[in-house]
A and B are shown apart, each in its own frame.
Chain A
């Protein structure tokens, strides 16, 4: 059937664009890939050198330091349980993937959020991009990631960074904008510079909200591990993927449960980090 308009070759344009990027910036992408791969695999190697029980205790102590004893206890038992199931090494691989992704999501996301909080025009640019990043099915940007960075852990990291960054940006913007207007006026009236206003008043007051964003980013990065395993990222996600494709219900549950345990640990610890030390704001 003849159409009034010929089909728009949008897909072809995208393909051409991706091809052009791969050819033109190939060296750059290779560099980025090596860098990210180095970080993830390096940290896994490094963590592997520590005996699992000692590492579990260290994590528990860290949890205790940041949050409460109950969470520390849960951390210890949970990690030892994963070790006992035999998923210690995949768990470390997943942790390295998640934490690396979140690290980059924060390094990019928090400054972008601060920028957006200061300028209405910046917000007008940032918000639609965030909508796109959050709603575009993650598989879609896994594909170009493979072209740019090859198969393995790196496209997984890149996809996770993109997918997990929006909450940090949004909540950083929100937190800073929610600082009461009269406090902003007070900082201005005393002659603060923009940076003094941000660093001494707005960011400290926005911290709980920013931490909620960080928490959300971690959760989203965790939710990406199974998807990332489809492009070859190792870890617990890969085990889940294998269990699904081989119809191994038991293994699926074991690995799934392990992911849940890690998720709970990370969630509780980061929630506490946000609430802690807000001085006299709560009576």
Chain B
């Protein structure tokens, strides 16, 4: 999403929610910098969300993550005012929803924001179609039209043909698809998903995450996704807000959260993350030694000797990967006078830089020479060495590149060596 000009869809400014009778006194204490437990002791009021400020950009998946009791479910409910904030401002397309009256709010809920719930919250007395129709039904949309739209959105989530069933006849995963279809049928810009996949078993959950990403890719809705599962957050989030005790502790891209946790809490949270599912080839690749194809076998062999390596990548002038040549082949080519093109191995394993490490193990373990990382134009970006892969998995930062990509100057380095 970063290539697009980011438009703020939702702006949350200094928003606080305090539950309980003494909310005024509690708010005052909060202003004095007291903690959640101190305020609970002093006033009996519970701080749900503490002075939260963040922006959600149009078209992104914004994940709010935290353990239970961290206030994430409260925070998401402030966005459509299922819970009224104690104080603060929430701008939706520039309009302050906190100030809205009942009718305006109803209009926003009907047209702009759809919601998907943890335990699906389907209406058990209504069929799948009637469930999906609900949002349009209460807007007074004519039956034929709303049924058509509901069917469309059921088809979108892969439930065509189930229209006349009842929710209890469907599995959990399918029920949540209905929940999603029900939210989509209204055509909202924003989708609030409150632990939408948490009640599903792991395999189904992964499928649903994939489908959500696909839907998001196709429809470009702004999605605010609540979860307690870091893996899920890292998988689907464009940006993640981490919450603790009603506070937003850190907001950032998955990578920022992982690589530079802003405090000890975040660090502890992310230390158990399965790095192999987060780090990509771009993170661990090393710069590659290459030889341009028209230099010939002699130059290639000399470079290998200088660098002390047994094979070298062959590229064209635009740094596009053509193949690799081994020292042995280069040696015999010099004797027979063959060209580099004739002796190089051209069916090399090549992977894009955003491949996660889990998907690398197989390729790396069977490859004879280091695996090449190439961009969409087949330009060589770097190589994966077994040692770096293992080092990165052990969490050793020296093996991990900061931004997942090399700077372009480093490539010229190689070129200089080639000349030498």
A residues near B (Cβ < 8 Å) are 180, 182-183, 185-193, 196, 200-201, 204-205, 278-283
Contacts and interface: CB of A to CB of B under 8 A. Distances in A.
Given A182-B121, A189-B192, A281-B166, 18 more contacts: A183-B121, A183-B123, A185-B117, A187-B138, A188-B109, A189-B115, A190-B110, A190-B138, A191-B109, A191-B110, A192-B106, A192-B138, A196-B138, A200-B138, A201-B123, A205-B123, A279-B124, A283-B168
B68 interface: no
A279 to B, nearest CB: 5
Interface in B104-139: 105-110, 113-115, 117-119, 121-127, 134-135, 137-139
A201 B124 CA distance: 9
A282 B168 CA distance: 8
A189 B138 contact: no
A204 B115 contact: no
Given A191-B107, A200-B138, A281-B125, A186 B169 contact: no
Contact of A280 (B110, B118, B169): B169
A279 B126 CA distance: 8
B82 A189 contact: yes
A190 B134 contact: yes
12 contacts: A182-B121, A183-B121, A188-B82, A189-B115, A190-B109, A190-B186, A191-B138, A279-B124, A280-B124, A280-B127, A282-B168, A283-B169
A223 B161 CA distance: 51
B124 A281 contact: yes
Contacts of B167: 280
Contacts, number: 78
B165 interface: yes
Contacts of A185: 82, 117, 121
B80 interface: yes
A186 B107 contact: no
B82 A280 contact: no
Interface string B91-111: 000000000000001111110
Given A189-B82, A190-B134, A190-B138, A182 B117 contact: yes
A193 to B, nearest CB: 7
B169 A191 contact: no
Interface string B301-318: 000000000000000000
Given A191-B110, A193-B106, A281-B166, A186 B121 contact: yes
Interface centre among A190, A200, A201, A204 (most CB of B within 10 A): A190
Interface centre among B105, B135, B165 (most CB of A within 10 A): B135
A78 B370 CA distance: 91
A186 B117 contact: yes
A205 B125 contact: yes
A15 B136 CA distance: 58
A192 B135 CA distance: 8
Q: Which 8 pairs show the lowest CB-CB distances between chains A and B?
A: A280-B166, A191-B110, A191-B109, A186-B121, A189-B115, A182-B121, A190-B135, A191-B106
A165 B248 CA distance: 53
A187 B131 CA distance: 11
B125 A204 contact: yes
Contacts of B113: 189
Contact of A191 (B117, B121, B127, B135): B135
B60 to A, nearest CB: 21
Contact of B139 (A187, A191, A283): A191
Contacts of B138: 187, 190-193, 196, 200
Nearest to A207: B125
Contacts of A182: 117-119, 121
A165 B208 CA distance: 50
Contacts of A188: 82, 109
Nearest to B167: A280
A80 to B, nearest CB: 38
Contacts of B108: 191
Nearest to A283: B168
Nearest to A180: B121
A190 B137 CA distance: 10
Nearest to A181: B121
Nearest to B186: A190
A81 B234 CA distance: 75
Given A188-B109, A192-B138, A281 B121 contact: no
A63 B162 CA distance: 34
A204 B166 CA distance: 15
A185 B167 CA distance: 18
A182 B119 CA distance: 8
A200 B137 contact: yes
Contacts of B80: 189
A186 to B, nearest CB: 4
Contacts of A278: 125
Contacts of A190: 109-110, 114-115, 134-135, 138, 182, 186
A6 to B, nearest CB: 44
Contacts of A280: 124, 127, 165-169
A189 B109 contact: yes
A180 B117 CA distance: 13
Contacts of B117: 182, 185-186
Contacts of A193: 106, 138
Contacts of B110: 190-191
B113 to A, nearest CB: 8
Nearest to A205: B125
Contacts of B105: 191
Given A185-B117, A193-B106, A281 B168 contact: yes
A174 B398 CA distance: 63
A91 B230 CA distance: 71
Nearest to A197: B138
Interface in B153-180: 165-169
